[in-house]
Amino acid sequence: MKAAAECYLCLMSQVLRTSRVLGLNEALSQTMAREACAFLAETDFDRTPPEISEDLYRLLSELSGNEDPYAEIKKDNIQKALKLYPELKQTVEASADPLRAALEISLAGNIIDFGANAEDDWLSDRRFLSLGSLALDDYDQLIKDLERATSIVFLGDNAGETVFDRLFIERISKKVRYAVREKPIINDATAEEACLSGLPEVAEVISSGCRAPGTVISQCSADFLKILKESQLIIAKGQGNFECLEQIPGPFYFLLKAKCEVVSRYLGVEKGSLVLTKSRNFQAKLALNI
Amino acid sequence: MKAAAECYLCLMSQVLRTSRVLGLNEALSQTMAREACAFLAETDFDRTPPEISEDLYRLLSELSGNEDPYAEIKKDNIQKALKLYPELKQTVEASADPLRAALEISLAGNIIDFGANAEDDWLSDRRFLSLGSLALDDYDQLIKDLERATSIVFLGDNAGETVFDRLFIERISKKVRYAVREKPIINDATAEEACLSGLPEVAEVISSGCRAPGTVISQCSADFLKILKESQLIIAKGQGNFECLEQIPGPFYFLLKAKCEVVSRYLGVEKGSLVLTKSRNFQAKLALNI
């Protein structure tokens, strides 16, 4: 999915949010905003939003000298999520359909995202536990494909929801590989955050090789691509992974909150909807032209 | 008041809103956003927001070939406001303090502003008639200065609220000059919109000479500056006029809705507050260094 005009505005809002997270003074905040504008005026918009984001956040890191502005926020979100974990696990186990309950919790965890939205009170009001129905819901098909699959990859998204993804993966009685970003980008999970979330207890944590906030195939490591090609089911979490992968034929299911107008419009759902959707380009094995 | 880092984001949101108002397709919207970024990367931010806005909107007009993108919206807002006028006039006349009631209606009319916010349902729910208390309220002092003054200028803001300003000016039993922008900018009132609002019936409509969305002293015509210098009371409506004039010693009262974080913070009020405030740099006559 290519970036749209609205992405200019969203990216600028991320620049200002990052300035606040970094605690920059007014002069430095203005410098950062100005440099971001210069970047946006020149960068190729005939790309997916995560590819543009990656370049923008690299610029912000260079300007601020901070490679991981969201480090503390990531840790904090994981701690908060881990505190909820025992209670949520009981909720799942007491449910009539534990897999479905765990999937909904994993999906609701996708509200945590400082890229698209700043909802830092996501835990305090426990909104994420009172889900409405999903705007797109291919659960029945997912279950069938999950039963058939012997090789499963879960593409993670943000730090914090990683704990809720663990709840879901626990319910899958098969080997799952959990893929994370290669290096810090916004609040996305890297191997470090996956470990802090306890994911190694239920999955093999692997790096995609990407440091974009999404799985950009051209950046993926050869090892990771080999794993993807051999997979019979790839569950991709979040907007970034959706934006990067929805055009690529393969065994993809997308699990995301549609956080912006651009993605919501593309999916044909209301902004803010929770979505579990089988790829429109679904096929049994990943086909790549690279 | 100088522009702040947040203004980069607000200005970009105005670019996208203008694209929508113009009905531009995706490719043209992207071009406009990209050109706006290039402008923002280069422009001098050591200026007031209306000065930057003026240059930005000139660029948007050049790119789109449309000198007045908000023309229809301005007319539509005036028509809606005129329909309400008889009922509001009765409300004012039935009030224990008609001048205060009219001032509150004029102030509430300041919610109409496509520059800072897009509240195009401002009339449908009549929110503007149910005012809370003002966050800053120098009404008692305004009344005294109004009694003393023999030469009064009212600096208008947006088309539509012009009709509500008329209600207020009707209650002042003195000659008032109503100043408008020289040329179209966003949805600000020019002489055309002031006339459509019936202002010539209650005031002498004059142009400031500016085409910024605020009264930029260095752009004002010599005739207008002469009038300002001779004034004993200048009531300035809206954020744009506040941003341009709050530093200038003179007989200013500011009547505005604090629409953004930058202005709210500066005034020490909550965002969205309605404000009637005597200038911190109030003095009996306008002092200019130009």
Taking the CA of residue B140 and the nearest CA in chain A, the distance in Å comes to 36
Q: Point out the least confidently predicted range of A72-86, A110-124, B55-69, B246-260.
A: A110-124
Residue A121 carries which DSSP code?
A: T
* pLDDT, position B112: 66
**A&B contacts, CB < 8 Å:** 73
Predicted pLDDT of residue B118: 47
The mean predicted confidence, pLDDT, of chain B is: 92
Q: What share of chain A is helix, strand, coil (3-state, %, to 5)?
A: 50, 15, 35
Which uninterrupted H or E stretch holds B162?
A: helix B161-170
Tell me the average pLDDT across A99-104. 92
pLDDT at A121 over 90: no
Return the H-helix or E-strand segment holding B58: helix B49-64
> Using 50, 70 and 90 to split pLDDT, how confident is the model at A125?
very low
Say if CB A216 and CB A188 are below 8 A apart: no
Contacts of B221 (CB under 8 A, 6+ apart): B182, B207, B208, B209
Mean pLDDT, range B233-259, rounded to an integer: 97
In the three-class reduction of DSSP (H, G, I as helix; E, B as strand; rest coil), residue B5 is classed as helix
B110 band by pLDDT with thresholds 50, 70 and 90 = confident
Going by pLDDT thresholds of 50, 70 and 90, the confidence category of residue A110 is confident
Distance CA B160, CA A123 (A): 43
- Provide the pLDDT confidence category of residue A226 given band limits of 50, 70 and 90: very high
pLDDT at position A115 over 80: no
Tally the C-alpha atoms within 13 A of residue A73's C-alpha that lie toward its C-beta: 24
Question: Closest-CA residue in chain A for B44?
Answer: A34
What is the CA A85 to chain-centroid distance, rounded? Answer: 19
Q: Do B16 and A4 touch (CB under 8 A)?
A: no
Task: Report the complex ipTM.
Answer: 0.91
The pLDDT value given to residue B133 = 80
Mean pLDDT value across residues A91-96: 91
Rounded Cα–Cα distance for residues A23 and A185 (Å): 18
The H or E element spanning position B236 is: strand B233-237
How confident is the prediction for chain A on average, in pLDDT?
Answer: 92
pLDDT over 70 at A131, yes or no: no
CA distance B26 to chain A (A): 7
**Run of H or E residues at B86:** helix B71-94
Contact A30, B47 (CB under 8 A): no
Q: Mean of the pLDDT values across residues A180-188?
A: 97
How far CA B266 is from CA of A115, B53, B208, in Å, comes to: 28, 19, 26
Residue A128 has a pLDDT of 52
Spatial contact of A48 and A243, defined as CB atoms under 8 Å apart: yes
Q: Which of B5, B16, B34 sits opposite A30 (nearest CB)?
A: B5
B10, closest residue in chain A (CA to CA): A9
User: Which pLDDT belongs to residue A133?
Assistant: 81
What are the distances in angstroms from CA A195 to CA A57, B11, B147?
24, 41, 73
Say yes or no to pLDDT of A116 above 60.
no
Q: With a cut of 50, say whether residue A193 has pLDDT above it.
A: yes
DSSP A196: H
Alpha helix ranges (H) inside chain A: 5-22, 26-42, 49-64, 71-94, 98-108, 139-148, 161-170, 191-196, 222-230, 238-245, 261-267
Average pLDDT over residues B237-253: 97
* pLDDT band for position B117 (cuts 50, 70, 90): very low
First vs last C-alpha separation in chain B: 18
> Which residue has better confidence, A21 or B122?
A21
Gap from B37 CA to chain A (nearest CA, Å): 5
pLDDT at A79: 93
- Please give the pLDDT value at position A109: 87
A112 has a pLDDT exceeding 90: no
Q: What residue has token string 């008329």?
A: B166
Distance CA B36, CA A99 (A): 48
Range name among A206-210, B78-82, B245-249 with the lowest pLDDT average: B78-82
CA nearest to B13 within chain A: A9
> Among A111-120, A151-160, A245-254, B153-162, where is mean pLDDT lowest?
A111-120
pLDDT at A122 over 90: no
pLDDT band at A108 (very low <50, low <70, confident <90, very high): confident
Predicted TM-score of the model (pTM) = 0.92
Report the alpha-carbon distance of residue B30 to residue A28 in Å, rounded: 27
Sequential DSSP letters for A25-58: -HHHHHHHHHHHHHHHHHS--SS-HHHHHHHHHH
- Give per-residue pLDDT as tens, A19-29: 999 999 999 99
Pick from B16, B30, B42: CB nearest A45: B30
Instruction: Give the model's pLDDT for residue B109.
Output: 86
And the tokens for A262? 């651009």
pLDDT band at A141 (very low <50, low <70, confident <90, very high): very high
